[in-house]
Amino acid sequence: MIFDGDQRGAGYRNTLRFMNGYRTLLLGFYSTAENYVIAAYDPMRHREYAYSKSLQLRQESIDRALKVGLTFQIRTNGEVVVIFPLDSIEEYLQYAEDYHQVNPRITIDMQETTTTSLNVKQAVNTTLIPEQLPQLTPQERKRVVREIGRYIRDRRFEEAIKRVYERCAICDFQYDDIIDAAHIVSVADGGTDTYDNGLGLCPNCHRMYDRGLILVDGSGKIYLNSRYVEGYAQSGRAGSLESLGATLRKFIWQPLIAEHHPSPENLQRTFEARR
C-alpha cells in the first residue's frame, strides 16, 4: 500500500479515510493481455497500515479468478480477499461487506463433497479455503460461487425483511423473532431480493402463501383460494378453512416506511399466477 503523502520509516503508521456518506474500497489490480483481475481487500482491516505493507496474492488465485469469476483467498491473518475479473465488479460492490465476512477460522473438509450436495450455508458460515474445495471443472466452480452468492443474498434479504416486519403481514402473529422473509415473486420467476418483493410472514402463512392457499392481490387484500376451498369442502375439511379465515387480516400489514412496502405490481402478478 503506497499512496502519495504516506509517511515512511520505522514506527510510522498511515490511515485510510472513512467519511460519512461515502464508501471506502481497497482494491488492487493485475493486468493480463485480455483482462484485469481485481483483488478486493477488507478496508476495515487496513484502517491503519505501514507504508511497506505487503498485500500479495498467490498466482493460482489470480488464475482461478480468470477461469471462474469471483473467488476467494484467505490470508494468514484471517482476512478474506475477494478476487474477480473486472467485469464482475458490480457483483462485488453489491455484496462486498458480506463477502469479507466469510468466517475463515474453522475449516471444513469438502474433499468428498460433490457440487450437487455442497452445503452452501455451512461453507459460508465457516470458510471457503480454495485448497479444500473439491476438484471441479470451471463450470462446476462457477456454480459453487453462484450458490455462495445466492446464499449471501438470501441472508441479506432475510435480515432486511425481518427488521421491518414486526408481525406477520397476513395473520398479525407478533413473535417477530420467528417471522420468515417471503418472496412475493419467486427468484426462479425473476423476483428480486428487495423490499418491494418481500413479505414478513409467520411460518404457517409463508407455506400457505407459497402454495397458493392464501392469496394477496395488488391492493393488499387477502383471500383464501377458492380452488382449495372447494377441494377441502369435498374432503370434509372445510371447518379448518373457516377457522383459518377468521384469523386472517382483511388487508396485509405493511411496514411504517413506504419504501419498505411490497410492490402492488408484484403482489398482483403472483395473485394472477396462483389464482
Per-residue pLDDT, 170: 96
For residue 82, the SS3 value is: strand
* CB-based burial label for 135 (10 Å; 0-12, 13-18, 19+): exposed
C-alpha cell at 182: 417471503
d(CA 195, CA 216): 16
Q: With a cut of 50, say whether residue 224 has pLDDT above it.
A: yes
Which comes out higher in pLDDT, residue 11 or 201? 201
Q: What are the grid coordinates assigned to 142, written together?
A: 462457477
pLDDT-derived band at 208 (thresholds 50, 70, 90) equals very high
In sequence order, the 6+-apart residues with CB closer than 8 A to the CB of 75 are 81
How sure is the predictor about 122, in pLDDT bands with cuts at 50, 70 and 90? very low
Residue 40 has pLDDT above 90, yes or no: yes
Helix, strand or coil, per DSSP, at residue 37: strand
User: Residue type for 106, please?
Assistant: I
In this prediction, residue 141 has a pLDDT band, given cuts at 50, 70 and 90, of low
Q: Would you place residue 140 in the very low, low, confident or very high pLDDT band (cuts 50, 70, 90)?
A: low
What's the rounded mean pLDDT across residues 6-24? 88
Ranked by mean pLDDT, which of 1-15, 20-34, 49-63, 136-150 comes out on top? 20-34
CA atoms of 215 and 260, how far apart (whole Å): 20
DSSP per residue over 39-80, as a string?
EEE-GGGGSEE-TT------HHHHHHHHHHSSEEEE-TTSPE
Residue 6: the pLDDT is 85
Residues β-bridged to residue 223: 215
Assign 81 to helix, strand or coil: strand
pLDDT at 173 exceeding the cut of 50: yes
Per-residue pLDDT for 178 more than 90?
Answer: no
Cell of residue 209, nine digits: 402463501
In whole angstroms, how large is the CA radius of gyration of the chain?
24
Angle 14-18-23 (CA atoms, 0-180°, nearest 5)? 130
- The domain segmentation of the chain, as residue ranges, is 14-160, 165-274
Cα 211 to Cα 182: distance, rounded to the nearest angstrom: 12
| Higher pLDDT pick, 209 / 244 | 209
* Residue 168: strand, helix, or coil: coil
In which residue are the cell numbers 461515502 written?
A: 22
| Residue of 130, 133, 77, 131 lying closest to 105 (CA atoms) | 77
